[in-house]
Amino acid sequence: MKSSALARKAAAFGASTAVLAGLVAGLVASPAQAATAATASGATVAAGSKVQPKVSVSTPKASTRDYQGSCPVDVTFSATVKVKLKGKTTLAYRWLHGDGSKSKVKTVKVKGNGTKSVKVSEKATFKGDVKGWQALQVLGPRKVTSKKGYFSVSCLKLDAPKKHVRVSARAWASPSSYVGACTPGTKIDVNGLIKVSRPSWVRYRWVVNGRVVDYGKVKVWSSRKVGIDISARHSQRGSAYLEVLSPDHTTSNRAYYKVWCKDTTPPPAPAVKVSVTDLVTATNHDGCKVGAHANINLTGAASVQWTWSVNGQSVLKGQSSFGGSGSKNVTLPERVLTGAAKSGGKITLSVFGPKNSDSITQSYAACEEVKPSVEVSGAAVTAAKGDVCPAGTLSGSATVTAKGGFKGQAVWTYEGVHLAGVSIGDGANTVSFQGKAFNELTKDGVTELKIFSTDGKVLETVAAAFKAPCA
């Protein structure tokens, strides 16, 4: 999570609803999306529609809420946006960070009837200890901000002076008693839990029925599970225990188990069918990238293979296993578009199950090139009396909004006197000054706010008048 001082200042002022609506509209790329109209609340709905889509946002969750370990570390934040609509709309959103910074605005095309769920995520890298929060702000079709999702990162210092490590171990069998058919795949899981007083490498071995069957070495931060499988191909009884060899020697309790093999004829399993739904594409105009995600649905336990294709070309393959009927979301990570693909295209997810296959295709929006630009708003200057007239002071402020990678300078002046100046970049930049003293303020005046490019060229000049306090 990176944030500049200017971004933190911008967070204090906040963009108006009208500005946010304009921003969302600027992200819409396709002709169908261009047909939407901005409402007073900042929502975009299809032209001619009378009802704005309802939007709700879940509280963001961190992939590791309270992390302890080596740094730097990547933490992924995710949230779900639910949009109830009839037709189609464009979802625009950004991430709010606990340090006051904000992510760039991204858009996702959503269409269909009923409530659609859109999962979004953001990854941040932390190099030191931090406690903070993330929130997701939806800008369109309706402005909604989620609750804050809190997290913490604690970087362990493993180079501290070594101390004696206390180790404990516990073991258990799962299941401890098995009755049923015994096949080559029938196994008893023997699990162990190792706990240490401080992060250490731990060497251990498993002993089953008095015989060493496995050795291992793992890094344990606080506690960690280890385990083995015992083949249950015939009726038997037995026990297993976990023995820690270093950095301290200890032995777990004995985990007892028993197996009774019985011939059973399982009923024929119903045909397992696979389907794919809820494909959503997202065009990231920053860098001209496209990504997508969809749901794979299965009516029973099975493994399925899936393939992502962009404009007819396979780009990613994978496999998902289901323990039973249900749905799983698969994601196509953002990919850089080149050539004709920048003008829009189609993304397809094909799924292959044990009995059937299915596929779904969705168009993605063309990426728009964002050109550098700058806009000045809210420029105002006021004058106040000094201790004794004609002396007085000037104070003023303005917001300079830049985008498209713009960089430059913003400078306030009055009759050749420098009042304030700051470097500006993408986002809302505040240029202000307070209590600038003058020996004489007996007449009305006009100040100027000038925007300069990096090569010193004046790009824009905005005048702000004030009334003399000692006239």
DSSP character string of 426-439: SEEEEEEEEEEEES
Question: pLDDT tier at 286 (50, 70, 90 boundaries)?
Answer: confident
The residues pairing with 278 across neighbouring beta strands, listed in sequence order, are: none
DSSP string across 36-87: EEE-TTS-EEETT--SPPEEEEPPPEESSSEEEESSSEEEEEEEEEEEEEEE
Q: Which residues contact 107 (CB under 8 A, 6 or more apart)?
A: 24, 27, 28, 90, 91, 92, 93, 282, 283, 285, 365
Contact 349, 292 (CB under 8 A): yes
Q: Which strand (E) or helix (H) includes residue 357?
A: strand 357-364
Phi, psi (degrees; rounded to nearest 5) at 341: -65, -20
Q: What integer is the mean pLDDT of 306-327?
A: 91
- 311 burial (CB, 10 Å; 0-12 / 13-18 / 19+) is middle
What pLDDT, on a 0 to 100 scale, did the predictor assign at position 355?
Answer: 86
User: Between β-strands 408-414 and 417-424, what pairing exists: parallel, antiparallel or unpaired?
Assistant: antiparallel
What pLDDT, on a 0 to 100 scale, did the predictor assign at position 49?
Answer: 44
Is a pLDDT exceeding 60 seen at residue 456?
Answer: yes
Compare 123 and 341 and report the one with higher pLDDT: 123
Q: What integer is the mean pLDDT of 322-338?
A: 90
Is a pLDDT exceeding 80 seen at residue 29?
Answer: no
Q: Please write the tens of the pLDDT for every residue from 245-279.
A: 999 899 999 999 999 888 766 666 678 899 999 99
Is a pLDDT exceeding 60 seen at residue 159?
Answer: no
Is a pLDDT exceeding 60 seen at residue 52?
Answer: yes
Answer whether 0.75 is exceeded by the pTM. Answer: no
Compute the mean pLDDT over every residue in the chain, rounded to the nearest whole number: 84
Q: In this structure, what token pair is assigned to residue 458?
A: 């004046």
What pLDDT, on a 0 to 100 scale, did the predictor assign at position 318?
Answer: 92
Contact 173, 255 (CB under 8 A): yes
Q: What integer is the mean pLDDT of 210-230?
A: 92
What pLDDT, on a 0 to 100 scale, did the predictor assign at position 264?
Answer: 64
Is a pLDDT exceeding 50 seen at residue 167?
Answer: yes
Is a pLDDT exceeding 70 seen at residue 34?
Answer: no
Q: What integer is the mean pLDDT of 450-468?
A: 91
What pLDDT, on a 0 to 100 scale, did the predictor assign at position 38?
Answer: 30
Q: In this structure, what token pair is assigned to residue 318?
A: 């994978």
Is a pLDDT exceeding 70 seen at residue 30?
Answer: no
Q: Tell me the H-state helices in 263-320.
A: none
Contact 76, 119 (CB under 8 A): no
What pLDDT, on a 0 to 100 scale, did the predictor assign at position 13?
Answer: 30
Compare 397 and 14 and report the one with higher pLDDT: 397
Q: What integer is the mean pLDDT of 5-22?
A: 33
Distance CA 213, CA 243 (A): 12
Distance CA 458, CA 462 (A): 11
Is a pLDDT exceeding 50 seen at residue 293?
Answer: yes
What pLDDT, on a 0 to 100 scale, did the predictor assign at position 269?
Answer: 65
Q: Please write the tens of the pLDDT for every residue from 366-421.
A: 887 667 888 999 999 999 998 888 999 999 999 999 887 789 999 999 988 999 99
What pLDDT, on a 0 to 100 scale, did the predictor assign at position 50?
Answer: 53
Is a pLDDT exceeding 90 seen at residue 324?
Answer: no
Contact 77, 155 (CB under 8 A): no
Sheet containing 392-403: order of strands: 373-385, 392-403, 427-438
Cα atoms found within 13 Å of the Cα of residue 11, Cβ hemisphere only = 18
Q: What integer is the mean pLDDT of 185-203?
A: 91
What pLDDT, on a 0 to 100 scale, did the predictor assign at position 344?
Answer: 86
Distances (CA, A) of 14 to 9, 18, 263, 341, 430: 9, 12, 70, 35, 11
What pLDDT, on a 0 to 100 scale, did the predictor assign at position 406?
Answer: 87
Of 441, 422, 444, the residue nearest 433 (C-alpha): 422
Is a pLDDT exceeding 70 seen at residue 109?
Answer: yes
What pLDDT, on a 0 to 100 scale, did the predictor assign at position 158?
Answer: 53
What pLDDT, on a 0 to 100 scale, did the predictor assign at position 161?
Answer: 52
Distance CA 85, CA 265 (A): 49
Cα atoms found within 13 Å of the Cα of residue 204, Cβ hemisphere only = 29
Contact 37, 102 (CB under 8 A): no
What pLDDT, on a 0 to 100 scale, did the predictor assign at position 267?
Answer: 65
Distance CA 435, CA 262 (A): 91
Q: What integer is the mean pLDDT of 439-462?
A: 91
Contact 392, 456 (CB under 8 A): no
Q: What integer is the mean pLDDT of 333-358?
A: 89
What pLDDT, on a 0 to 100 scale, did the predictor assign at position 403?
Answer: 84
Q: Which residues contact 261 (CB under 8 A, 6 or more apart)?
A: 180, 181, 182, 232, 233, 234, 235
Is a pLDDT exceeding 70 seen at residue 9?
Answer: no
Is a pLDDT exceeding 70 seen at residue 39?
Answer: no
326 torsion bin: left (phi>0), alpha (psi -120 to 50), beta (else): left
Distance CA 303, CA 354 (A): 8
Q: Give me the numbers of helices (H) and strands (E) for the chain, helices first please.
A: 3, 33
